[in-house]
């Protein structure tokens, strides 16, 4: 995927994941954004090679939620 298309995907996906974090954790948007950007899930999402960008925002949120609660990440079978 071209870099511009990949970046455009992130621009669409990340705000939706942050919205789920805000809703589920009752955090303000700034805190939720910072928390997501500091997560291993976001680090993996930033790398096009992981192909996490093709997952739904809800699936990415669930991965973030698991990481936050357990320190581990389970990758969905695909």
Distance from C-alpha of 15 to C-alpha of 29, rounded to nearest angstrom: 10
Q: What is the pTM of this model?
A: 0.91
Distance from C-alpha of 44 to C-alpha of 71, rounded to nearest angstrom: 14
Tell me what the mean pLDDT of segment 52-61 comes to.
95
SS3 state at 26 = coil
Q: Is the pLDDT of residue 47 over 70?
A: yes
Residue 78: the pLDDT is 56
Percent of the chain with pLDDT over 90: 79
């Amino acid at each position: 995927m071209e870099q511009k298309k990949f970046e455009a995907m992130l621009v669409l996906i990340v705000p939706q994941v942050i919205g789920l974090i805000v809703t589920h954790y009752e955090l303000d948007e700034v805190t939720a954004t910072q928390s997501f950007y500091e997560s291993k899930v976001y680090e993996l999402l930033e790398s096009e090679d992981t192909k996490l960008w093709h997952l739904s925002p809800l699936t990415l949120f669930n991965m973030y939620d698991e990481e936050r609660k357990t320190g581990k990440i389970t990758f969905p079978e695909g």
